Amino acid sequence: MKILFVVLVLVLASVPALSQGTSNITCKMPFQNIGSRCLFLDPLEAGTWYDMRLFCSMQGQGVDLVVLDDPNLLHAVYQYITEYGLDRTHYWIGASDQDAEGVWLWVDSTPVHLGAPYWRYDCDIENSNPLRPKLDSNANCAALDHTANFYFADFPCLGDGGDSSFSPICEDEPIYLDEYDDYEDESDEVNEE
C-alpha cells in the first residue's frame, strides 16, 4: 500500500500542475497562470538584471524575464503582487535599451510600448521631463517600481546601489489543455501496455 502511495505521489508530481486562471492553459511548477501567461515571481531572490535573467533561464529551457506587452497582463501581475503581499520589492522585467539608448526592446526583440499605460510618470516640479523612460545611458533596464504602483521604471541594470532589492518575474511557455489531454492520452496508452 505504501509503495502504491509513493508511486501515485511521484506520478502526480511529474504531471504539470493546473494553475489558477481564466484560460485553458496549465503551467509547470513553480509557474502560475497569471493573466493567461505562465509567470513565476520570486520576491526572495534578488540581484542585478543580468543575475535575474540567469536565474530565470535556470528554471527551464526557454524561460526568461517576463515580456509585459499587454496592459491587461500588467494589471493581472499588479493584482497578484498586491493580493499575495509581494509588494516590498522592485521586479525586473525583460525590457532594456542596452543596445541603443532610447530604443527599448523586450528580451524576445519586440519593441516595448513607451509611455502610458505602462511607464511611471514623475510628478516632480523640478523634473523638466516627467515621462519615463528617461534618456539616461546609466538606466538601461526596466523593472516594476514598487514605489510607483508597479509601473515600469528604468533603472541601472545593476540595481540602484543597494537601496532596494530587485526580484525576478520569469515567464515560461504555457501548456495548452488540448496538448495536456494529448499528454494524458499517451500516458494512458503506456499504462495499458
pLDDT at 68: 97
Determine, yes or no, domain membership for 10: no
CA atoms within 13 A on the CB side of 6: 3
Q: Average pLDDT for residues 22-46, to the nearest whole number?
A: 92
pLDDT at 121: 75
Number of helices and strands (H, E) in the chain? 4, 10
Tens-digit pLDDT profile for residues 113-145:
988 889 887 655 455 555 566 666 788 999 999
Higher-scoring residue by pLDDT: 119, 169: 169
Determine, yes or no, domain membership for 135: yes
Determine, yes or no, domain membership for 6: no
What residue numbers bound the domain in which 148 lies? 17-192
Q: Average pLDDT for residues 86-96, to the nearest whole number?
A: 96
Q: What is the CATH number of the domain that holds 109?
A: 3.10.100.10
User: CB neighbours of 131 closer than 8 A, spacing ≥ 6?
Assistant: 115, 119, 121, 122
Q: Average pLDDT for residues 78-86, to the nearest whole number?
A: 97
DSSP secondary structure of 85-113:
T--SSEEEEEEE-SSSTT--EETTSPBPP
| Domain count across the chain | 1
pLDDT above 60: residue 112: yes
pLDDT above 50: residue 172: yes
